[in-house]
Structure 1
Amino acid sequence: MKLYLLVAVGLTFVSTSFSGTALSRRKRSIAITDNNQTTYIELLKGRDGRGGLPGLPGRDGLSGSKGDTGLVGKTGDQGPPGPVSGGVVYTRWGKRTCPSISGTSMLYSGIAGGTHHTHGGGGGNYLCMPEDPEYILPSRSGVQGHAYVHGGVYGDPIQGDQLHKIPCAVCEVSTRVMKLMIPAKATCPSSWTLEYRGYIMTMYTMYGKLVGDGRGTFECVDEDQESLPGSETPDDFIFGLTHVEAGCGTLPCPPYNSTKELNCVICTK
């Protein structure tokens, strides 16, 4: 059997043929025996494969074990405020418009309404009656006269006109969700928005005595009180809103004062 050996010497290849079965290694040489003669061929180190073509990609290795949990990262910056849901609605007594404040708009304007001061029944609260009433639901004849809502007037006001009807406006605040009326204050707490300030007013106490149980609610009427033009009621003025002072004794005086009209504020947040 003949074997052919290519030996690289530098960049030159030498071809050698031989026969025989003896092939051994002695350090960095190859011993070749042919016809009882042994030839030693020294193995020279060839060039490295840096200039060769890249080999094929190897097979994927095994999945490694799960690493340790990393450290907790720093707290990120606070994001922008989200949209505000909800909103509040309040009545501005003594004005036909709502305050010019961001987020506040008017739903409707009207006239203050309530129960006649000589009637024992009826509601004890005041209503802001719209200027354009609607009658859509069915009605019946012969069942009227049991209760009425009447228009109210100022009684000895500081700003408005005596015995003139009281305007009102219903206001919506879409960017805030809470509303607060504070009696005997002219400012709102910090972080709250002042909608308007004014005077505490209610039904004149003498009217309640006429029927024994006639009472009205306390309302915050705007400091710049307006009157509906041409609405003077000189005779029977139905019910009147008048200023309120502190009753000394059960309320400490000072700081309260029975000779000064109580202030109030409407605040939102």
Structure 2
Amino acid sequence: MFVASTVCFLVFMYVTSVACRADREPECSRFHYEEQLLEKMVRMEFNVERIQQRLDSVSESCAKLEDSTRLKEEVKDQVGSVYTRWGRDTCPTGSSFIYDGFVAGSHYTHTGSGVNYLCLSKEPRWANGSPTASEVGLIYGAEYEINTANILTHIHNNEVPCAACKSRGATIMIPGRNICYHGWKLEYYGYLMASFQSHAGSKEFICVDSEAMVAEGSNSGDQNGALLYFVKAVCGALKCPPYDGNKLITCAVCSQTK
């Protein structure tokens, strides 16, 4: 009887224990789930904060880059480079017009005075009192001397216009090419011109626009003065090829873009 009672008691205790564990198990699992969910939310919030910090950093870097780029463009606009467009009285697209005028220089027979061509303004202003002198250098208007060429002969003996222009980048005149190198923008191209080889007064080489025009008020009379001739290469020390002694030397005026 005692043994049977003991066995019944043990069975009852076991069933009760199992039932208690079964009753508590959902409660424990629910707590564990909520704990994991809370942990995930905390981690997510932390990750969101880190992403926001990175986005703020990227936005700040972009703003600085934009400001730097804008500053560079402003500096470039302010600095730029000034050049003369020989043979035209306007500036190419993208360049700022400063003034237009007439090409001038010393007489082709004179050994003195200046050796360079100038772009004289169309609107001269004189000093007060009209100062003068008896011993001076002389400056003459320039004329195209191109009647022996097979191009632009319709402007032979006419006076030469010019324009002062400002580009956004540094400029260079490249003799021997009519296109620019990589990183440079073509302002205009044309032909290298200077004084005649045997004239007493030598001049600098300038790049005259391929679509050269006549100056305002010009006439085709042979008035001479500072003259402009096309230029050819002399083979020897100057290698042919790549040069050709029968072809007119081209040129390009280029502005830096990078």
Which of 179, 184, 187 is the matching residue for 1:195?
187
Number of the residue aligned with 1:79: 65
* Counterparts in 2 of 1:229 and 1:134: CA distance versus 1, 3 Å: closer
Q: CA deviation at 1:193?
A: 1.3
Cα deviation for residue 239 of structure 1 reads 2.2
| CA distance, structure 2, for counterparts of residue 187 and residue 140 of structure 1 | 46
The structure that is strand-richer by fraction is 1
CA distance in 2, matches of 1:233, 1:162: 7
Answer yes or no: is the 8 Å Cα contact 2:157–2:222 preserved in 1: no
Q: Mark the runs of 5 or more structure 1 residues left unpaired by the alignment.
A: 1-72, 209-213
Corresponding residue for 2:123?
A: 132
Report Cα offsets for 1:198-257 as digits up to 9, x if no partner: 10000112322xxxxx21000000000101255235344112101001110011111100
Aligned length: 187
Unaligned regions of 5+ residues in structure 2, if any? 1-53
Mapped to 2, the partners of 1:232 and 1:144 lie a distance apart of 30
Corresponding residue to 1:256 among 236, 243, 248:
243
1:229/1:135 Cα in 2 relative to 1: closer, same or farther (>3 Å)?
closer
Residues 213-252 of structure 1: pairs in structure 2 closer than 5 A? 214-228=201-215, 230-232=217-219, 234-252=221-239
Does the residue aligned with 1:79 lie in a helix, a strand or coil? Answer: helix
Match of 2:108 in 1: 117
Cα 1:229–1:189 change in 2 (3 A) is same
In structure 1, distance between residues paired with 2:118 and 2:223: 20
DSSP 3-state at the match of 2:183: coil
Q: Secondary structure at the match of 1:193?
A: strand
- Taking CA–CA contacts closer than 8 Å with sequence separation of 6 or more, which of the two structures ends up with the larger relative contact order? 2
Q: Output the TM-score relative to the length of structure 1.
A: 0.65
In the aligned structure 2, how far is the partner of 1:96 from the partner of 1:179? 19
Select 1:207's aligned residue among 199, 210, 225: 199
- The Cα shift of 1:138 comes to 4.3
Q: Could you tell me which residue of structure 2 aligns to residue 97 of structure 1? A: 90
Deviation at 1:139, TM superposition (A): 3.7
Structure 1 position 149, deviation (Å): 1.1
Superposition misfits of 4+ residues, deviation over 4 angstroms: 73-78
Q: What TM-score does the superposition give when structure 2 sets the normalisation length?
A: 0.67
Q: 2 CA distance for matches of 1:188 and 1:252?
A: 21
Alpha-carbon separation, structure 2, partners of 1:183 and 1:137: 42
**1:151 aligned to 2:141?**
yes
Residue type of the alignment partner of 2:65: G
